[in-house]
Structures are given as structure tokens and as C-alpha cells.
Amino acid sequence: MTNFKTSNQSLTTYDVQELNQSIGLLLSRGFAPKFILKATVSKSQRKKGHLWLTLTDGKASIDGVAWSSTIKSLKFLPKQDDGVIIIGKLNFWESQARVSVQVFDIRASISTVLKKFEIVKSKLFKEGFIDDSLRRKLPKYPHSIGILTSVPSSALADMLRAAKERWPLTKLQIIPIPVQGNHENELKSILRNLKMNKLELNAIIIARGGGSREDLMLFDSEIIAKEIATFPIPVITGIGHEDDLTVADLVSDHRSATPTAAIVDLLPSREIEKNNCLQNKKILKDFFKLFFQNKKNFLTTNKSLFHSHSPLLLLKNKRIKIKYMYELLNALSPQKWLKRGFALITDEKGNSIYSVNSFKKKDKFLVQFADGKITAEVDKINYDKV
């Protein structure tokens, strides 16, 4: 390094390496060790396991790199034209005096998330996967359900607590799944294996606790959405917060606001069912009380009816009637009248004669008295004047 003066000003002389070292020293001393960068990816490519990016805001650009060791922990790998938010630091290569951003973490910007959501939503709608008429009813009393979520997690703990309080009779099958990041293929494989339903599930819940909308991008995947849409049993989603809407929610059979709400929506309430049982018990008790009272009244009425139509009673009544008729006939019998002084007049053949018009002179007739008969002959006929 040589110092010399020109135009009364002292200047410092560098060689290239020294200049680059000084620049690197200035950057390391004067620039934040880590920072957040908002940008759009204008170019993205993988080389030798590393991810090389060109980042721009439309006015300027800078290179970026995510080393292979970092890529393993990244939850989002951007593509061209994706908006991103990067946590990184400046890297300065002294040999080339080249500056780039070393990426520690990278996430999709909200604009990228919403763009992907709209693209996938539009495509699935055209293909008929998003259709309210395809939504199936949830089972009323599921005996076994699958809970697909991160294990362990606060969302799972809340769901298990709610399930125990609400309906402990249902068997819960916990199936760990990734809930964010580039894990489409892993989640797809889990869903495909569950489609065979070897666990004999009545429904499944796909759940993820709260987070930024960018963290929910996995559930905007077209691949995952189609697996959910073609699932053989009802699928309930409880992803993020109430205001969060993903493509998975659109193709599921039921969308719940939160993971806990998914449990509440799927499982019956034992308190409500207990009250329903008590109410039904009272209704049945009142019904059977009225039923048996009606039957008792019916039997009592029939008993009276049967008693009034009893064969013994009928025979008794018949006997009384016959006795009455006998007495009546006996009272009206000719023998009784004969004993009272009346007489019965018949011709010789025994035919009763009721009028003098039936006689002629010299006709013979019989007169029957109570104690015998006499034979008489008509001597004279006297007619009463009318």
C-alpha cells in the first residue's frame, strides 16, 4: 500500500485484493449481520444441491443463494415470479468483489400465497372438484375417526381434550402429518394409504393450528386438494384461524373454523345427548302411561261388555223370559177360560166355531166345558140386531 499526494490531497493506493478486503471489512462492520428482504424471484435454479436465486423489486436486482445444508430446513422453495420474504445476510466474495444474499429462511409473500390460491381454486372449480352438491353428511355417532395433524402440537392437545369432554365413546386414531413446507408428496402418500381404510374410520379431520397465511400454503396444493376431494369417507378441515381459507377447505366435506371446532362439529355432545335421552325417557314414560291407561279402560269396558253378554247371564235371562211366556201362555190357555165358565164350541170334526152364521138348523156341534163335552143340535138360530 503506497501513499502519495496529488493536487495537494493525500490518496491511498490499493491493489485489487486489498481493495476487496477493505470493502468486505466495511460491509461486515457497517451492515446488519441479518436482515429481512422483500423481493420477487426473477430466476430460480438448483445447482450441485444449492438454490441460486435472482431477486428483484423491479428497479434493482441482487443474487441470492440457499446452501444445500439450509435447503433441508426450508419450508418453502420459490419458483420464478414468486414473491418472497427472506431472512438473510450479505455475502461478499473478495476474489470477485461480488455481493449476494445468503438465505437462512425464505417464505412466500402473501401476494404469492393468494395468487396460488386463486389459480388452484379456479382450476379445481373448472374440473368439478369444488361443488357443494358433492359434500357428504357427517356421521352422527362416529365410532372411529382419524385426526391428521402435527404431533405433538397444541392443536392436537386441544382436540383431544375437546373430544374427551364431548364424546369419549369415539375411538381417536392419531396420524402425524406435515402441516407446512414442501411436503406435498409425503402428505399425498399418507392420504392415499388411508384411502384403503384399514383402520375402519368413519371420518377424518385434517387440522393445523394458527399461523400466518403463508404457513398454510401446503393446503393450497392442487395435489393434496384432489386427494381430499376423492377421499372415500367424509373429510373435515380445521386449518388455521377462522378467517383463513385454503383450497383444502373448499374441497372438503365440511370446513371448521379451527381444529377444536372440527371436533365440536364432528362429535355429538354428551350433555345434549344426555338431555335428549332424559327428554325421550319422559316422553316414553308418558306415552306408556297413557297407552296402558287406555288399554285398562278398554279392558274394563270389554269386561263390562263381556259380563253383560255372559252365557250364564244370557241363559238366566232366557229362563226368565221363557218363564214369563209360560205364565202368560198358561194364563191365556183355553183350559183356564173353561174353568172360568166359558165354553168352546166346535163342529163334529173339532173345528172351532166363532159365529152363528156357521150354523144351520139341525147341525150338530160339540160344547167343551172344563170338565167334559156335550153334543147338541141346532134347534133355532137367533141373530143379534146390529
Q: For residue 346, which phi and psi values (nearest 5 degrees)?
A: -135, 160
Q: What is the band of 17 on the pLDDT scale with cuts at 50, 70, 90?
A: confident
* Nearest-angstrom CA–CA distance, 138 and 136: 6
Strands 98-108 and 61-66, sheet pairing: parallel
CATH number at residue 21: 2.40.50.140
Residue 30 lies in a domain: yes
Q: Which of 245, 268, 291 is the last residue of a domain?
A: 268
Q: In this prediction, what percent of the chain has a pLDDT beyond 70?
A: 97
The DSSP bridge partners found for residue 376 are 365
Average of per-residue pLDDT values in the chain: 89
pLDDT, position 362 = 84
Q: What is the band of 95 on the pLDDT scale with cuts at 50, 70, 90?
A: confident
pLDDT at 6 > cutoff 60: no
Q: Which of 108, 138, 159 is the last residue of a domain?
A: 108
Residue 287 DSSP one-character state: H
Same domain, 14 and 49: yes
pLDDT, position 170 = 97
Q: What is the band of 302 on the pLDDT scale with cuts at 50, 70, 90?
A: confident
pLDDT at 2 > cutoff 60: no
Same domain, 50 and 75: yes
pTM value?
0.64
pLDDT at 84 > cutoff 60: yes
Q: What is the band of 275 on the pLDDT scale with cuts at 50, 70, 90?
A: very high
Residue 239 lies in a domain: yes
Q: How many CB atoms lie within 10 A of CB 251?
A: 27
Q: How many CB atoms lie within 10 A of CB 138?
A: 17
pLDDT at 31 > cutoff 90: no
Mean pLDDT (whole number) for 157-176? 96
* Nearest-angstrom CA–CA distance, 71 and 183: 13
For residues 312-344, one letter each, b for 16 or more C-beta atoms within 10 angstroms of the residue's C-beta and e for the rest, the string is eeeeeeeeeeeeeeeeeeeeeeeeeeeeeeeeb
Identify the three-state secondary structure at position 75.
coil
Grid coordinates 316414553 are at which residue? 284
pLDDT at 89 > cutoff 70: yes
45-67 pLDDT per residue, tens: 999 899 999 999 888 999 999 99
Cell representation of residue 348: 163334529
Q: What is the band of 128 on the pLDDT scale with cuts at 50, 70, 90?
A: very high
* Nearest-angstrom CA–CA distance, 212 and 43: 25
pLDDT, position 386 = 56
pLDDT, position 381 = 83
pLDDT at 4 > cutoff 70: no
Residue 335 lies in a domain: no
Q: How many CB atoms lie within 10 A of CB 35?
A: 12
Identify the three-state secondary structure at position 180.
coil
Same domain, 176 and 213: yes
Residue 386 lies in a domain: no
Structural domain range at position 129: 113-268
pLDDT at 202 > cutoff 80: yes
The DSSP bridge partners found for residue 37 are 86
pLDDT at 156 > cutoff 90: yes
Q: Which of 47, 77, 108 is the last residue of a domain?
A: 108
Polymer length in residues for the chain: 386
CA diameter of the chain: 205
Q: In this prediction, what percent of the chain has a pLDDT beyond 90?
A: 54
Same domain, 140 and 48: no
Same domain, 250 and 118: yes
Among 26-35, 111-120, 225-234, the least confident range: 26-35
177-200 pLDDT per residue, tens: 999 888 999 999 999 999 998 999
Candidate ranges 212-226, 325-339, 346-360; pick with highest mean pLDDT: 212-226
pLDDT at 248 > cutoff 80: yes
Residue 377 lies in a domain: no
The total number of structural domains in the chain stands at 3
Mean pLDDT (whole number) for 366-386? 82
Same domain, 297 and 181: no
Same domain, 133 and 83: no
Mean pLDDT (whole number) for 79-103? 89
* Nearest-angstrom CA–CA distance, 64 and 42: 11
Among 5-9, 253-257, 377-381, the least confident range: 5-9
Helix H, strand E, coil C: the string for 82-101 is: CEEEEEEEEEEECCCCEEEE
Residue 229 lies in a domain: yes
pLDDT, position 23 = 83
Q: Where is 139: in which H helix or E strand?
A: none
Same domain, 91 and 172: no
Same domain, 98 and 117: no
Residue 89 lies in a domain: yes
Q: What is the band of 282 on the pLDDT scale with cuts at 50, 70, 90?
A: very high
**Hey, what amino acid is at 33?**
P
Residue 191 lies in a domain: yes
pLDDT at 331 > cutoff 80: no
- Order of strands across the sheet that contains 344-346: 344-346, 364-369, 372-377
